[in-house]
Amino acid sequence: MSFQLTNVPAAQVHGAGAMAVEVDGLRLALFSLDGEIFATGNICTHAFALLTDGHVENGCVECPLHQGLFDIRTGKAQGTPVTKDIATYAVKIDEGIVWVDTQPRAGAGEAGGRAAALAAPADFRRLVIVGAGQAGAEAARRARAEGFAGTITMLGDEPHPPYERPPLSKDLLLGKTTLADAHVFDAGEAEALKLELRLSTPVASIDRDKQAVVLGDGETLAYDMLVLATGAEARRIDLPGAETVTLHYLRDAKDSEALGKALRAAESVVVIGGGFIGLELASAARALGKSATVIEAQDRLLQRLLPPEPAEFLAWVAEQNDVALRLGAGVARVGPEGVTLTDGTTVAADCIVVGIGARPRDDLARAAGLETAATGGIVVNGLNRSSDPAIYAVGDVAVLRDSVTGAEARMESWQNANLSAARAGGAIAGKPQIGTDVPWFWSDLFGGTLQIVGAPAADQTCVRRDGEAPVFFCLDADNRVAACIDFGDAEALRAARQMIEAGQPVDRAALADPDTNLFQIEDDDMKMLPIEKRFAWPAAGLDRVPDWAYTNKEIYDREVERIFHGKTWNYVGLEAEVPEAGDFVRSYVGPTPVVMVRDHDGGINVFENRCSHRAAEFCRELRGNTEEFVCPYHQWSYDLKGNLAGVPFRRGVNGEGGMGPDFRPENHGVKKLFVTQRNGAVFASFSDAVEPLEEYLGEEMLTDFDAVFNGKKLTVLGHYRHTLMGNWKLYPENLKDPYHATLLHTFLVTFGLLVAGNKSAMIVDPSGRHSTMASAKSDGAAVSDENKAEMRAYRDGLTLSDPRMMDFIPEFDSPWSVTMQVVWPGLIVQREMNTLGVRQIVPNGPNEFTMIWTMFGYEDDTEEMTRHRLRQGNLMGPAGFLGLEDNEAIKFVQDGMLNSTGGEHLVVLDPKVPTGTSTTLISEAAIRAMYKHWRQEMGL
């Protein structure tokens, strides 16, 4: 035994829970468990990380790096990735101070102390589902089916187990079926799912901080994940005279039972509201032999939902079935005599039903501060996850917001209840569902069935086809089938589904002709699917990036056209590279070669390096000074502004040959780009529609940009050029990925450039395209002993022999000592302490890009400052301590994609920030923001 004093009061350990100490050169961890103190080695046996930074639970500590788990009392490793136990040490407390025996306990910590293979740990997560309707039930079913092994509790305010609602206005209403027939779960299924089903149990509120739901009686129920499946309720109407009659609404079993009785007892039924439920009720009334009138405020049925033709057909069908339609009619009052309209007429009725739509039951969510839509409903992403990553919403109450366009859609249908529940259930079980289905809805009317596939809208044009039964195809502006409303032609409906999925323009006449084979139309057109059909972004949304975004040539060509040649500012060079008239450098905009040259007026011009005669890349020198550019092939010459100056033998020889009389040199200059400059940096654009550079960058980005380009004259220190074997976007992504910094770049951590406690940020501009990764180096004095110990922990005994490389000499008007700024699409402005540079991305196809670095200082730098910048330059570039690792990582990523079949990347870190600036470095929100912008630009 050799107990050593730690100088740490026991109370401090109990207060902190875990503390790092150094005794006798040993780095130890002290843990407080149930009032007792335990000591273990502090360095994980798997990779270099401090266990005291980890998470303590159930007597075990989880390493922060790879989640290796050790039992604190015994040091036993608890399974993958850790196989070797940590050492444990005896502890005694003397006068309140902790002493530790520096001889490790026998048995633990020795090589070969392998963890026994452990059974898969039990899943202790609690899933709570609010709302025992169709979507809630389906979510439970799907979570289990996908392997969720925690507990599931479902809370419903109705007294019935979950049931489907469509029969409420159909056979159940007519008494042909019972509620039991409509139950979602088969007998015994809820038990088999190990589902705790609590009926007649309304939920009163959600406490998101405590992760608990509060029931009506005050009982609280903790959750790890919550599904809100609260559905919708019938929209109510306030009518004069309402107190004198019974107004029927229809949403649940109780309503249906009451309405069924009333219908049977009635003579004349009036339905207020000409939607599907209203029509189904009129249909039910007619089936019972009652007179039926539908009152609709709009001029036609289903005005918001359908184009005129199918709606008018539906009206015709209703009238054929002796339903009286009162369109464009307002209700003035109701009474025992019936319904009085605003035009003064009264429609006699002894049973009045109101079917004017439903309101999503989002009150719980609203009160809990979840994001809700202006028109009602809980906003969710492609996985049906709400703005709180622990909470999902499904069914009628969920509003799906497109992560790229921001378009919102809420659907009330049997199919949506199931599909949304499947997405949430899959996500909860850790198996997100891929792929979307064409929406589908049906309604039973007058003995037939109407079906809708796709997304109809009032403003679509319609093509009617009269085959076996009438079918209406709704076409979008490009003549593509967007939806189909069918009255009984199953074959046409199947064909429509295919056409919607294919998204091909179709021939209207062929579509209308009952003799054309609809599947055949399809085949001919399928040959050239539009790009957005062939490259469908994963349904999970921005959480995933498909491989094709990085490897496909067609996508790459579209990027060149829409991004590099589109509305972007592309860095081409520094003013300091062309100080004198006639000075030029060869550069690029995207992959396209350009020349940047200073003319005699002092202006800087950028034009394509492509002769307008035969396309030759005429400027061959990297840089130089010239009075004109002469294409070597046929000696066409251009002035410093890119105007065509001379064409040899323009007039021919001896009156023969030469150019025709209509040839005008001013029409044949090289392609000139739009040019802008800011404090010495030169940008060019193919587009005249791009906003001014200041707006393009935005205020926040401009601040970081101007810290480097502050107006001082620049001195070019030289260039690096290298080819990276990866897609060009991986480079900006690398600088939007603060997560990798401490994991890949051990150098940063080893030599204290980036340590816990450093101030840092990942800032994204509002458009999502530009960003700055920033950190502030704490000066030596400010680094706490604790952090110093941690820095050393990663690699023992490493110090720089010449630490000058890591010196930061403050010289910038900025809180940051390091900023890595991405100026979309192809510029990186590097300020790594005092080493300054720009990196220009030149893509060469989807799988490779060249990077051109220009390192610089300021004209007023002292010689020592220049040397300091050069010394610090060892960090970056193709051989830089950090740079080379990024290059390798990017190559590995591309290799991974090229050497496997298409897959997708996972970019899910930090779900609380869907896209944009994050406050933590353990985030991929900036990458998601970039792809949001990219998808908008690419139309994909």
Ligand X SMILES: Cc1cc2nc3c(=O)[nH]c(=O)nc-3n(C[C@H](O)[C@H](O)[C@H](O)COP(=O)(O)OP(=O)(O)OC[C@H]3O[C@@H](n4cnc5c(N)ncnc54)[C@H](O)[C@@H]3O)c2cc1C
- Residue 285: CA count within 13 A, CB half-sphere: 31
Which of the ranges 161-169, 170-178, 625-633, 739-747 carries the binding residues for another protein, by CB under 8 A? Answer: 739-747
Judged by DSSP in three states, 266 sits in coil
Which of the ranges 226-234, 343-351, 866-874, 919-927 carries the binding residues for ligand X, by CB under 6 A? Answer: 226-234
Q: State how far Cα 669 lies from the chain centre.
A: 44
> What one-character-per-residue DSSP string does 599-668 give?
-TTS-EEEEESS-TTT------SSEEE-S-EE-TTT--EE-TTS-EEE-TTTT-BTTBSS--TT--GGG-
Kindly state the smallest distance separating residue 744's Cβ from another protein, in Å.
6
236 contact, one of ligand X, another protein, none, CB 5-8 Å limit per kind: none
- Decide if 668 contacts 612 (C-beta within 8 A): yes
Q: Does 800 bind another protein (CB under 8 A)?
A: yes
Kindly state the smallest distance separating residue 443's Cβ from another protein, in Å.
59
| Residue number with CB closer to ligand X (174 or 789) | 174
Judged by DSSP in three states, 144 sits in helix
Which of 104, 131, 310, 590: binder of ligand X (CB under 6 A)? Answer: 131
Which of 113, 376, 658, 878: binder of another protein (CB under 8 A)? Answer: 878
Q: Does 792 bind another protein (CB under 8 A)?
A: no
How far apart (Å, rounded) are the C-alpha atoms in residues 342 and 859?
Answer: 83
Neighbouring residues of 41: CB distance < 8 A, sequence distance ≥ 6: 26, 27, 28, 29, 51, 75, 86, 87, 88, 104, 109
DSSP state of 801: S
883 contact, one of ligand X, another protein, none, CB 5-8 Å limit per kind: another protein
Which of 132, 673, 876, 929: binder of ligand X (CB under 6 A)? Answer: 132
Which of 879, 902, 903, 939: binder of another protein (CB under 8 A)? Answer: 879
Angle (nearest 5°) at CA 595 between 590 and 596 = 100
Instruction: Please name every residue paired with 354 in a beta bridge, in sequence order, or none if there are none.
Output: 272
414 contact, one of ligand X, another protein, none, CB 5-8 Å limit per kind: ligand X
Instruction: Please name every residue paired with 594 in a beta bridge, in sequence order, or none if there are none.
Output: 587, 608
Q: Does 135 bind ligand X (CB under 6 A)?
A: yes
Judged by DSSP in three states, 318 sits in helix
Q: Which residue carries 């110990």 as its tokens?
A: 789
Q: Does 891 bind another protein (CB under 8 A)?
A: yes
- Decide if 31 contacts 18 (C-beta within 8 A): yes
Which of 327, 531, 716, 789: binder of another protein (CB under 8 A)? Answer: 716
Q: Please list every residue from 332 through 391 that binds ligand X, using CB under 6 A.
A: 361, 364
Which of 281, 292, 724, 836: binder of another protein (CB under 8 A)? Answer: 724
Q: Taking phi first (over 0 means left), then psi (-120 to 50 degrees means alpha), and beta for anything else, what does residue 455 get?
A: beta
**Count of Cβ atoms closer than 10 Å to residue 359 Cβ:** 16
Which of the ranges 19-27, 182-190, 304-312, 876-884 carries the binding residues for another protein, by CB under 8 A? Answer: 876-884
DSSP state of 697: H
| Residue number with CB closer to another protein (367 or 622) | 622
- Decide if 417 contacts 134 (C-beta within 8 A): yes
| Residue number with CB closer to another protein (487 or 881) | 881
Q: Please list every residue from 237 through 266 that binds ligand X, using CB under 6 A.
A: 250-251
Q: How many residues bind ligand X (CB under 6 A)?
A: 37
How far apart (Å, rounded) are the C-alpha atoms in residues 386 and 611?
Answer: 55
Which of the ranges 361-369, 489-497, 669-677, 888-896 carries the binding residues for another protein, by CB under 8 A? Answer: 888-896
ω into residue 825 within 30 of 0, thus cis?
yes
Q: Does 809 bind another protein (CB under 8 A)?
A: no
Write out the two tokens for 191: 């038990």
858 contact, one of ligand X, another protein, none, CB 5-8 Å limit per kind: none
How far apart (Å, rounded) are the C-alpha atoms in residues 307 and 274?
Answer: 15
Kindly state the smallest distance separating residue 136's Cβ from ligand X, in Å.
5
| Residue number with CB closer to another protein (795 or 912) | 795
Q: Which residue carries 């003035």 as its tokens?
A: 332
Q: Please list every residue from 831 through 860 that binds another protein, using CB under 8 A.
A: 850, 855
Q: Does 742 bind another protein (CB under 8 A)?
A: no
The single-letter code of the amino acid at 469 is A
Cβ burial of 329 (10 Å; 0-12, 13-18, 19+) is: buried
Which of 12, 413, 677, 679: binder of ligand X (CB under 6 A)? Answer: 413
Which of 136, 732, 825, 873: binder of ligand X (CB under 6 A)? Answer: 136
Give the CA distances from residue 143 to residues 126, 167, 382, 437, 677, in Å, rounded to whole numbers and listed in that order: 12, 26, 16, 19, 56
Which of 52, 153, 230, 451: binder of ligand X (CB under 6 A)? Answer: 230
47 contact, one of ligand X, another protein, none, CB 5-8 Å limit per kind: none
Q: Does 133 bind ligand X (CB under 6 A)?
A: yes
Report the interhelical angle of 134-145 vs 414-428 (nearest 10°): 40
| Residue number with CB closer to another protein (327 or 717) | 717
Pairing label, strands 97-101, 3-9: antiparallel
Q: Please list every residue from 603 through 622 that binds another protein, using CB under 8 A.
A: 622
Q: Which stretches of the chain bind ligand X, using CB under 6 A?
A: 130-136, 155-158, 165-166, 168-169, 202-203, 229-232, 250-251, 277, 361, 364, 395-397, 412-415, 417, 441-443
Q: Which stretches of the chain bind another protein, using CB under 8 A?
A: 622-623, 716-725, 744, 746-747, 750, 795, 798, 800-802, 805, 850, 855, 866-867, 870-871, 873-874, 877-881, 883-885, 887-889, 891-892, 895
